Amino acid sequence: MGDADSVVHRQATPYRAVRAAIGFAVPALVMVAVLVVGWLIAASASVTRWDLSVLHGLESVQSPIFVALSLGLSWLFSPVVASVVIAVAAVATGIARRSVWPGVRLAVLVLVPWLGSTLIKVLVHRPRPFSTDLPHHLLTATGFSYPSGHTALATAFCVALFLMWGRGRLRAPLLAVAIAVPLLTAFARMYVGVHNLTDVLASLVYATAAVFLVDRIMRAVAARFAASHGVGGSVGFVARVR
């Protein structure tokens, strides 16, 4: 029985290694693809014209509900307000789990992808839609357009919440939140006239991949730390909340 267990262990180890490598490689490649696509989009006048036609179509739909929703989500995921929300969520998570590390994990899962989206903005250097082309725009923003920072933040926050708390009875509602809130934020940023469709689509893809990559890295680092220090399963920020 011991020899059989040893054989199974040797066979399982390479499989786990390959699976782990794929877990790192896939989101990393997706993030690189988002950057490359951003360069191509920024250099394409035809894509810019198509994006503008989409925004014109949204402008033609005047709705008080859409206005309130778009302005509200733009406020909620603005840098200052979102920072407070992240801090409150991180503290609440730490208190609920009776350990500081789950709160740290949540904050890192949100902040690193958000900061990464800012770096991509600088690298791609795509201008925002011109307000003169959108006479009914609701907001005016500075900085670059690709990807949408608000959408990336909303996506990272909701996906991180799902990773941290998406178990048992919370799984279905948090999954719904992780899908609905980023999509609504993406719509909001287009409706107020500060982002293109391609900007927000890139944010949805990038931020989802980034959260999963950061999660993988944190878990791998903590597993090595636990193994080298004999901590075992007590490193709370890499354990999925159950």
**CA 160 – CA 60 distance, rounded (Å):** 35
Among 104, 194, 179, 185, which Cα is nearest to 143's? Answer: 194
| Per-residue pLDDT in tens (0 to 9) along the chain, 242 residues | 445 455 444 445 677 777 778 888 999 999 999 999 999 999 999 999 999 999 999 988 889 999 999 999 999 999 999 999 999 999 999 999 998 999 999 999 999 999 999 999 999 999 998 776 677 777 888 889 999 999 999 999 999 999 999 899 999 999 999 999 999 999 999 999 999 999 999 999 999 999 999 999 998 888 777 677 665 544 444 454 43
Q: What is the dihedral of CA 154, 159, 164, 167, to 10 degrees?
A: 130
**Token reading at 135:** 């006479």
Strand locations in the chain (E): none
- Are the CB atoms for 139 and 78 separated by under 8 Å? no
Distance of CA 191 to the CA centre of its chain: 20
**CA 118 – CA 17 distance, rounded (Å):** 32
Model pTM?
Answer: 0.86
